[in-house]
Chains A and B, each alone.
Chain A
Amino acid sequence: NAGVTQTPKFRVLKTGQSMTLLCAQDMNHEYMYWYRQDPGMGLRLIHYSVGEGTTAKGEVPDGYNVSRLKKQNFLLGLESAAPSQTSVYFCASTDSTPWDEQFFGPGTRLTVL
């Protein structure tokens, strides 16, 4: 099992460009999450999904969109990147309840110039 994988690992964007981050899990987990990690601020929840076809806003959703068309994939989109979105992005998943252990991907380091 690969667990939770994220694509890409690194990316540099110019202000205004768009991109999609892909998260994939092969554990048949119901719940998936996108976080951003900034220095001194811990992990903050961007969006999450409680199952295929569902999405919900987290703590810092502005400027991001998500989709969960397939149970194993959770996509995070930036329509018009801004320097404030420079961060490390982590995807995570949990099995049958949202308060199970979260399995994290390796992270994507995004820089917006």
Chain B
Amino acid sequence: AQKVTQAQTEISVVEKEDVTLDCVYETRDTTYYLFWYKQPPSGELVFLIRRNSFDEQNEISGRYSWNFQKSTSSFNFTITASQVVDSAVYFCALSEANFGNEKLTFGTGTRLTIIP
């Protein structure tokens, strides 16, 4: 069974600090996809990134970076030089790439508050 754990329920940091959101996953499949979504206070869900299990290269997009490590089953998300607009709930999610199990399993989310 697929499972995603986001152990950090809430994090608060002062603006301009770096912050890392942890994500640990469980799956028996060798082919799977990992995602991060952002839910700002307005409530909509915004896609940030998708990674497949065969691509362990770290990804950087502006102030955002992701560290995927299969050895520890982790897909952590780092925001560098945080800004108030980064305040949101962030969800990590997992999809096992097999037809017949077309589900995306979400973690419980981490609420990030950036203090001005």
Bound Cα distance A106, B47 (Å): 13
Name B's A-contacting residues (CB within 8 A). 6, 9, 32-33, 35, 43-45, 47, 50, 91, 95, 97, 99, 102-109
CB contact under 8 A between A45 and B103, given known A99-B33, A99-B97: yes
Taking CB atoms, residues of chain A closer than 8 Å to B32 are: 99
* B103 touching A42, Cβ below 8 Å: no
* B43 touching A106, Cβ below 8 Å: yes
Taking CB atoms, residues of chain B closer than 8 Å to A43 are: 45, 91, 106
Q: Which of B97, B99, B102 contacts A48, CB < 8 Å?
A: B102
Taking CB atoms, residues of chain B closer than 8 Å to A45 are: 103-105
Beyond A45-B103, A98-B102, A102-B35, list 18 extra A-B contacts (CB 8 Å): A31-B102, A40-B108, A42-B91, A42-B109, A44-B106, A50-B102, A56-B102, A58-B103, A90-B45, A98-B104, A99-B33, A99-B95, A101-B47, A102-B45, A102-B104, A104-B44, A104-B45, A107-B44
Nearest first, the 5 closest Cβ-Cβ pairs linking A and B are A98-B102, A104-B45, A99-B95, A42-B108, A42-B106
| Secondary structure type dominating chain B contacts | loop
Q: Give the contacts of A94-113 with B (CB-CB under 8 A).
A: 97-104, 106-107
Q: Give the contacts of A51-101 with B (CB-CB under 8 A).
A: 56, 58-59, 88, 90, 92, 97-101
* B95 touching A98, Cβ below 8 Å: yes
Instruction: Count chain A CB atoms within 10 A of each CB in B6, B45, B95, B107 and give the residue with the most.
Output: B45
Bound Cα distance A88, B44 (Å): 11
Bound Cα distance A100, B49 (Å): 11
Bound Cα distance A41, B103 (Å): 17
Q: Which of A33, A40, A56, A107 contacts B104, CB < 8 Å?
A: A33
